[in-house]
Amino acid sequence: MAYQSELENLDEDGYTQLQFSSRGITKRPVSSEKGVLSSSCPPNWIAHENSCYLFGTPLNSWNGSKRQCSQLDSYLLKMDSSKELEFIVKQVSSQPARSFWIGLSRPQAEGPWLWEDGSKFSPDLFEIRSTVTQENSSHNCVWIHGRIIYDQLCSVPSNGICEKKLSI
């Protein structure tokens, strides 16, 4: 008899017919280590923890990239933790030919490095390597290339990394 019921599930070519049902399957909200997120990232943005990131605004100066991020209701990247730094390095390293502006600059040479929101940079997170080759050259903006973070002339065209916080 069991053999007979198996035959009932065969189609005319002898293949087993499968019955699928979506009962009991519900959509789950996106979650992270910091809780459930109520919104998702826009197209082409990448979610990580409680932020969305856009890698590669069009080539622009540091100020131009800052403006582009602002127009997208975001800001140039501010790294707050080693976990976030690890995520950023992984993303940037997959594009070895490109450098990306981050939201770190200083008002004058030898001044303190400040994030876009005015908070001070903590050298405990990463080291900023100097690219200054001439004495009168002021490299007052910061970009990341591969796994290394450098100071750079703010006028050099580069891509930017925009960040926006997800609402929790």
List the chain pLDDT tens, one digit each, 168 residues. 444 444 454 455 554 444 433 333 333 344 344 444 445 899 999 999 999 999 988 999 999 999 999 999 999 999 999 999 999 999 999 998 999 999 999 988 888 999 999 999 999 999 999 887 766 668 999 999 988 999 999 999 999 999 999 876
**Contact predicate 13/131, CB 8 Å:** no
Residue 4 CB coordination number (10 Å)? 7
In angstroms, rounded to a whole number, what is the distance separating the alpha carbons of residues 119 and 102? Answer: 14
What is the per-residue pLDDT for 44?
Answer: 93
Tokens found for residue 54: 């856009």
- For 7, residues 6+ apart whose C-beta sits below 8 A from its C-beta are none
What is the per-residue pLDDT for 158?
Answer: 96
What is the per-residue pLDDT for 135?
Answer: 64
What is the per-residue pLDDT for 60?
Answer: 97
For 35-64, letters b (16+ CB in 10 Å) and e give: eebeeebeeebeebbebbbbbbbeebbbeb
